[in-house]
Amino acid sequence: MEKPSYSGHRARLKKRFEKGGISSFLEHEILELLLTYCITRKDTKPLAWALLRKFGSLSGVLEATPSELEEVEGIGNNSVVFIKLIRELMRFYFLEEIKKRKEITTPENVVDFCRASLQGEANEIFEVIYLTTRNAVIGVERISVGTIDRASVSPRKIIEQALKRRAAALIFVHNHPSGEPEPSKEDIELTETLSRVAAPLGISVLDHIVVGKGKFFSIRANSLITVKKEKV
């Protein structure tokens, strides 16, 4: 039985990757290769181009919602699950990487994780990174999905989890789906409220990082909060 014309192209893509990774690949070639693992009997090049035309870039494809992906003709459930799995693997990888660090001392130390975790989400998401006295990461928890304000983010829940995990410090991260990372008045007030609640328990709020599209804003680096650690 004659092999389909695209089978040779798939084999060449895989061989290129085996020999030199994806550094020499164009964006559509990366998508082509990814799609070969969830679409077995179809030329993936037209699908890769269709995805790039709709979402503008490889990162745009990875950040798209399942319903948005399914709007592209030829992209079915298997492809959607695979693409979202890649995104979740990125999140898991960056979380493991920041856990390996002996300490977090700058906003840049957590930005890669924040971007992998939050950038491209359709809703605002608020997460807490719990740290030891030496600023090593204990864990990360997603606290709220939706509009971020003092009503949706419970200081009590955060402090309870911090005490349960024996955390000495906290970093808050959340996204702005609009793309602009500058914090709102409510973002700053929420940070101040959480800092006030945590301080008497000897827990420091080290930062609140807001992630936009390709940009981030550190509330601490811009002197909008001060770090306090007070014992009762």
Q: Which tens digits make up the pLDDT trace of 38-97?
A: 888 788 899 999 999 999 988 889 888 888 999 999 999 999 999 999 988 887 887 777
Please give the model's pTM, rounded to 2 decimal places. 0.67
Tokens of 163: 């005490």
* Per-residue model confidence as pLDDT tens digits over 146-162: 765 544 788 888 999 99
Which strands, in side-by-side order, build the sheet including 125-131? 137-145, 125-131, 169-175, 204-211, 216-218
- The whole-angstrom separation of Cα 109 and Cα 38 is 34
For the ranges 40-44, 111-115, 205-209, 213-217, which has the lowest average pLDDT? 111-115
Number of residues that make up the chain: 232
Distances (CA, A) of 10 to 13, 30, 52, 124: 5, 11, 19, 39
